[in-house]
Amino acid sequence: MLDKSSKSPGSGVMDLKQPDLYINRELSHLEFTWRVLLQSEDDSIPLLERLRFLCIASTILDEFFEIRVAGFKQKVDVGSSQSGPDNLSPADVLKTIHARAKMLVKRQYQILNEVVLPRLAEHNIRAIRRSDWTEKQEAWLRKFFHDELLPILSPLGLDPAHPFPRMLNKSLNFIVSLTGKDAFGRNSGLAVVQVPRALPRIIRLPEEETGAGPYDFVFLSSIIHAYADDLFHGMSVTGCYQFRVTRNSDLFVDEEEVDDLLRAVEGELFSRHYGDTVRLEIADNCPDDLVEFLLEQFGLTRDDLYQVDGPVNLHRLIDIVDTVDRPDLKFPSFTPSRPAQLIAGVDMFESIRKGDILLHHPFESFAPVIEFVRQAASDPNVLSIKQTLYRTGADSAIVDSLVTAARGGKEVTVVIELRARFDEEANVKLANRLQEAGAHVVYGIVGYKTHAKMLLVVRREGRRLNNYVHLSTGNYHSRTARLYTDYGMFTCDKAIGEDVHSVFQQLTSLGKVVKLNRLLQSPFTLHKSLLQMIQREADNATAGKAARIIIKVNALIEPQLIQALYAASRAGVDIDLVVRGICSLRPGLIGVSDRIRVRSVIGRFLEHTRIYYFENDGTPEIYCSSADWMERNMYRRVEIAYPILDASLRKRVYKDLQHYLKDNLQAWVLNTDGSYERLGVKGRAHPFSAQQTLLETLAERS
């Protein structure tokens, strides 16, 4: 591995494609999961929020196995030697993933059992083990088992007439060993109990009937373990062990071979539950012979085995966070502010005509975006509404307004990305609902996901038709707008309006690419423009002019952009990168990236804004975007980057960036070797949190 001193300084010719200049994408992804997990050990974070971080880390790891690990296993199975910029083979990547992931899983359960659960118990929030059940609790739980679980559970004995069943992806199951003979005189052996997803994984004990505390819980798995004998009348259970299997969940739709993308996606959704197996999680006390039996059934090896000391699906523990009403153990609540020009009831169109308006969610309310669509739907002067939808949530006020507008006779066009990962089913339902209301629904361009976040309202004003636009770095989803940091901008700038109209024409009709005035768009101009702006900074630095780059994205792995940043660093450009998740660039390499600093901010809100800042010799250019710096965003998606044209808004965004570069409480610094080091230190003389500062600043402004 390359270290900080292994390259000599200088601006001579250097091969910036060397594999040791790049951090492996998958290992960087696991490092992000570690950073999220370690939030659950942070004493400065409220206790129930620490449990939430533990659950979030589990979810991230699940999706990593369902998509990324599954993809690498497929490559290994077909003998592929294809590698990324780091030149690691798929087999080498898988081997390293498993070693690192097993360490991570072990740490997860250590934190759960040794830190989080004991601390919760100190606050009378208890997960009660079977060995600690009182007589009253045992009696109530036995009745609960017989009344609520026994009628639903269907144990399956395994023999030649009852082969091993298909297991749903990530479902809770039990492998059970038995002795004795069944009703037909057959010798017992093994059985499987599959637990329906509809059943809660956490059972709250009633206080009056059990003498329990207000927040005493029992894991569903503990109840099934305790009364497994009752599932096999007349036989004896000698062992009962929970397990779950993770499957490949990436949908495959050959868009060039299907006539109806909506129907094709619907058809593939069912197969997601039964894709190829990639991981087996099982109780750590399960005997080896049963472990080997399950591995054989699923076609897995010991590398794919994860033995755990606790519930096999930690994500379901989030029910405790949602159930327990203890504000003192959660982040303080807050009310997002509204800019003065967007107070409730104001005429949105009049406000936007006065100047561009920037919202920073969740510090500022998402309600004005909902209000904008609502006013457009009811305004008789509005002729047309066009919008892209990637993720919206089950109950969307924006979709309600689009339906109202379509039923009211307005021209409503919605570009829905059916293949928004893990939201496919919701988007299919959304498409059907909008079509039934009379909206024009399209699914973008074959071979390209529509990831741009755009909303265009065409309004008749006198003898003119004016365009009103909302552009965003995040989805039109009211719930995630309270959890993710995103920028959204309202504008009626003529050039931007024309650009957005042109992009919608591309997405809904046939025609050649039109040159855009202000917007950068992938897969056409975004990547090329970014390379040019990076080169401009390098040229300015070489000429002794002001040069600086600040990039804030969720991921940075696209090789050409990384090479351009390396070259800019060698030319003398100071570069700050705020990369929440995956980063393949190695900072701090002398003569290569010694002017590049990389940090990741993990806090209360999920950092989601994408901001590109270029100093441009004292005339800064700032773009906000839906696009991360990944190959898929540059080449295989429709993305938009929009400029911040208003000088006061540029200053505001720049100041926000400075907050993230100043953060010394929630920031992690990327080292040259790919590891991360947290800056937060107790008792720091001048502690600073970007997210907390933004909360306080925007609250003061409101």
Domain residue limits, the chain: 123-326, 340-518, 521-701
- Cα separation, 503 vs 513, in Å, equals 9
Each residue's pLDDT tens digit, 206-234? 999 998 899 999 999 999 999 999 998 87
3-state secondary structure of 189: coil
CA distances from 260 to 254, 407, 442 (A): 11, 25, 11
∠ CA 626-631-634 to the nearest 5 degrees?
45
**Cis bond before residue 362 (omega within 30° of 0):** yes
- Cα separation, 455 vs 469, in Å, equals 6
| Side chain identity, residue 243 | F
Asked whether the beta carbons of 569 and 593 are under 8 A apart, the reply is yes
| Side chain identity, residue 479 | R
DSSP state of 166: P
Residue 552 parent element (H or E): strand 548-553
Give the model's pLDDT for residue 12.
60
Q: Who has greater pLDDT, 261 or 182?
A: 182
Return all residues near 285 (Cβ < 8 A) that are at least 6 apart. 241
3-state secondary structure of 264: helix
Where does the pLDDT of residue 392 fall: very low under 50, low under 70, confident under 90, or very high at 90 and above?
Answer: confident
Active site amino acids: 451
Of the candidates 691, 482, 681, the one whose C-alpha atom is nearest the C-alpha of residue 580 is 691
**Rounded mean pLDDT of 654-658?**
98
- Cα separation, 346 vs 372, in Å, equals 10
Q: What's the CATH code, domain 340-518?
A: 3.30.870.10
Domains 123-326 and 521-701 share a fold: no
Each residue's pLDDT tens digit, 129-148? 999 999 999 999 999 999 99
Query: How crowded is residue 396: how many other Cβ atoms within 10 Å of its Cβ?
Result: 22
Where does the pLDDT of residue 509 fall: very low under 50, low under 70, confident under 90, or very high at 90 and above?
Answer: confident
Of the candidates 605, 369, 610, 370, the one whose C-alpha atom is nearest the C-alpha of residue 484 is 605
Alpha-carbon dihedral 542, 545, 548, 549, rounded to 10 degrees: -70
Of the candidates 83, 329, 74, the one whose C-alpha atom is nearest the C-alpha of residue 215 is 329
- Cα separation, 403 vs 412, in Å, equals 8
Whether CATH 3.90.1150.10 fits 123-326: no
Where does the pLDDT of residue 80 fall: very low under 50, low under 70, confident under 90, or very high at 90 and above?
Answer: confident
Q: Any idea which of 42-51, 70-79, 270-279 has the lowest mean pLDDT?
A: 270-279
Of the candidates 355, 347, 396, the one whose C-alpha atom is nearest the C-alpha of residue 376 is 347
**Rounded mean pLDDT of 74-102?**
88
Query: Which token pair is 156?
Result: 């399956």
Q: Any idea which of 154-168, 315-329, 504-518, 579-593 has the lowest mean pLDDT?
A: 154-168
3-state helix, strand and coil shares in percent for the chain, rounded to the nearest 5? 40, 20, 35
Give the model's pLDDT for residue 154.
87
Query: Which token pair is 468?
Result: 């009103």
Architecture of the domain defined by 521-701: 2-Layer Sandwich (3.30)
Query: Which token pair is 235?
Result: 């036989």
